[in-house]
Structure 1
Amino acid sequence: MKATPDIDAYRQLESSFARWRVWLCCLLVLLWLPALTFGQSAGATDVYVAGSGNDALDQYVIRQIKQSVGPAFNLTPLSSRKNLPGNRAPVLAIGPQAFSRVLQQDAKQPVLALLVKKSLVKEYEEKPGSQIGAVYKDVPLIRQALTGKAILPQATRIAMLATTESADLYEPLLEQLEAFGLEARVFITDTNEQLIPTLNRALSYGDFLLAADDEAIYNPRNIKHILLTAYRRNKILIGPNQSYVKAGSLASSYAPFPEMARQAAEALMAYRETGQFPPPGYPDQYRVQVNEQVARSLNIPLPDRDDIADTVDQILLESREGSQ
């Protein structure tokens, strides 16, 4: 006799499977939800990132800042081909081109600038309604001058080259040096023909040559002639930045990138709390890069670079304490 299927048993089994499917779907949703919302923290502040165009640099910046701010912020890259979001969320601008691009689209956009010079920030900071924070990448000239003093303790006079238009870069420094037992002169050169004769006069005056971040003077076309002339006179160049130390400058102070990223993170946290960025400023910590080969060729005893940085920090600290 042929067995007859039990219809009720099939229906009960089908109902049981249906219930299990519902429970399974609910479980999968619970498991997938954190993955779907990864990096988009509840209650986090949205920050858009206007990149420098160097993907490796931009990703490094984002990672460094995320390490400091944690889940408090959602950092979202902003395509250079798109307009700013209309919600006025703050923008982290990496480098001068990104900074200028953002503010040219909207001068009132809250923007935090990183890897930019003070001079560029000042151009936009004075415009009405601007909401700008910044961590400058350049080094205060007084710190560069004291870097030279830490290497040459006997130095009392500093020479500087400038064009007519760039001479004002050194004006704040000239007012500061007397407090540190130093004096300085700016020597003006406006043409290629004037450069070497003016440099020779500068080297006759100064114990060392101090360079601001002035592309009119310190550029690939001029630097070889400046360095060779200085070496022949047994004089050193301090500054203007790390790349010139590799080219033949004896030393330069610089801000380590993790320190700049840390201060950028602090500025973002301040914005989250108050709705305003802190005023633009220099990093709190600096290091020194040196060219040991140049020091040997000029027979200059070169302290450890950490000792140089510590000496400069101590001199500046004592100066601030003495002025209070």
Structure 2
Amino acid sequence: MSPSAIVHLQSRRRWLARAGVLLMGMGAAAARAAPLPAATRDRRDLVIAVSDSSESTRKVVTDLRRRFPRAQVSDAKVPASRRAMVIAVGPVALRAVMADVGEGPVVSVFTSSQVYHSIIETAGDRRSAATAIYAEPSPAAQLRLVGMLFKRPVRTAVVLGARTAFLEPSLQRAAAATKMPLVVENYGAGDSINGILSRTSDAPAILAIPDSLVYNSENLRTVLLTTYRNGQAVVGFSAALVRAGALATTYSEVEEINAQLEELVNDYDLHGRLPEPQFPKYFRTLINEDVARSLNLVVDEIARNFAYRPGQR
């Protein structure tokens, strides 16, 4: 290994030692939301259901109160009025709301697709009146970012466990739209992360999807160091993962998720139909420039400024 490569490897180990990579919760299976009766659509109550008073939750609630001044903020464990529309902030709040016997629509925010679907699977009749804006980035935006970083379509591997297998159709659609060659590896019960990384070592890029079976606090160091040695770029699913040593990600701020939520609520008021669960529409990009240099990638302003903001056409 060259002296410069050794320096980059040592630097990466320091990132991993410092960074606390917070894995968002994760799940599997999707359901189309059915239209709700007119009586339900006429509701005027909007409840923001929370499960804690952390700084991050307070930031979310402050922005939501600005957008929805008449909304009530409530402990998720306290049942809302039966016809209220409930915005469940985070997975703990979503689980409590879905266990309630209310009849109104539920919109999940700041919960990953894996956890959302694991909760919805056990929600019985309420699942048809629920939808989500997932916490993790859109696969379509992530694959577009891969193309910008490499300046061409490159073979990209994605690893899915049993609880994220439901994402494969949307990943394949995104790959077709971006003309990105996509290789899907299924992480089975007898698999190890080392075996998966060995099978995908010829792919220049790895698209990491939040899946607690595949990526967790015990093996992220191994994943990032092994892909570094293989000369592979990891496009991660959070800003924290990029700071820890992944190459890049698209990510959404609170205000961007909430802007999409505001559009969803307004559309529901007009048409009385919840959309299917969706990925964040508005985003910006974070790139680890040190990792890019170690991979001999020249990052241009097009990639750095890749974003879609509320109000942008």
How far residue 81 of structure 1 moved from its aligned partner, in angstroms, is: 4.7
Tell me whether 1:253 sits opposite 2:250 in the alignment.
Answer: yes
Tell me, in whole angstroms, the C-alpha distance in 2 between the residues paired with 1:280 and 1:201: 32
Corresponding residue for residue 148 of structure 1: 146
Number of aligned pairs? Answer: 265
Q: Structure 1 residues 190, 154: CA separation in 2 closer, same or farther (over 3 Å shift)?
A: same
Q: Structure 1 residues 267, 163: CA separation in 2 closer, same or farther (over 3 Å shift)?
A: closer
Conserved 8 A contact 2:76-2:97: no
Tell me, in whole angstroms, the C-alpha distance in 2 between the residues paired with 1:305 and 1:218: 29
Tell me whether 1:99 sits opposite 2:94 in the alignment.
Answer: yes
Cα shift readout 1:281-319 (whole Å, capped 9, x = no counterpart)? 333221111111212233321224764525x99xxx9xx
Tell me, in whole angstroms, the C-alpha distance in 1 between the residues paired with 2:75 and 2:192: 45
Corresponding residue for residue 39 of structure 1: none
Corresponding residue for residue 23 of structure 1: none
Tell me, in whole angstroms, the C-alpha distance in 2 between the residues paired with 1:163 and 1:278: 26
Conserved 8 A contact 2:153-2:179: no
Cα shift readout 1:2-40 (whole Å, capped 9, x = no counterpart)? xxxxxxxxxxxxxxxxxxxxxxxxxxxxxxxxxxxxxxx
Tell me whether 1:242 sits opposite 2:239 in the alignment.
Answer: yes
Corresponding residue for residue 187 of structure 1: 185
Tell me, in whole angstroms, the C-alpha distance in 2 between the residues paired with 1:165 and 1:91: 26
**Of the candidates 107, 112, 120, which is equivalent to residue 117 of structure 1?**
112
Max Rg structure: 1
Name the amino acid aligned to 1:283: P
Name the amino acid aligned to 1:236: A
Q: Structure 1 residues 231, 278: CA separation in 2 closer, same or farther (over 3 Å shift)?
A: closer
Name the amino acid aligned to 2:146: G
Corresponding residue for residue 267 of structure 1: 264
Gaps of 5+ in 2: 1-42
* Greater relative contact order (Cα < 8 A, sep 6+): 2
Corresponding residue for residue 292 of structure 1: 289
How far residue 63 of structure 1 moved from its aligned partner, in angstroms, is: 2.0
Q: Percent identity at matched positions? A: 24
- List aligned pairs for 1:131-146, cutoff 5 A: 131-146=129-144
Tell me, in whole angstroms, the C-alpha distance in 1 between the residues paired with 2:173 and 2:277: 22
Name the amino acid aligned to 1:61: V
How far residue 245 of structure 1 moved from its aligned partner, in angstroms, is: 0.8
Deviates more, 1:106-115 or 1:209-218: 106-115
Coordinate RMSD, CA, aligned: 3.1
Q: Structure 1 residues 244, 88: CA separation in 2 closer, same or farther (over 3 Å shift)?
A: same
Name the amino acid aligned to 1:56: E
Tell me, in whole angstroms, the C-alpha distance in 2 between the residues paired with 1:269 and 1:97: 25
How far residue 64 of structure 1 moved from its aligned partner, in angstroms, is: 1.1
Corresponding residue for residue 18 of structure 2: none
Q: Structure 1 residues 107, 256: CA separation in 2 closer, same or farther (over 3 Å shift)?
A: same
Tell me, in whole angstroms, the C-alpha distance in 1 between the residues paired with 2:193 and 2:61: 42
Conserved 8 A contact 2:161-2:211: no
Cα shift readout 1:121-167 (whole Å, capped 9, x = no counterpart)? 45639954643243222222222122111101234211223345644
Corresponding residue for residue 25 of structure 1: none
Larger helix fraction of residues: 1
Corresponding residue for residue 50 of structure 1: 49
- List aligned pairs for 1:35-74, cutoff 5 A: 45-69=44-68, 73-74=69-70
Tell me, in whole angstroms, the C-alpha distance in 2 between the residues paired with 1:270 and 1:155: 36
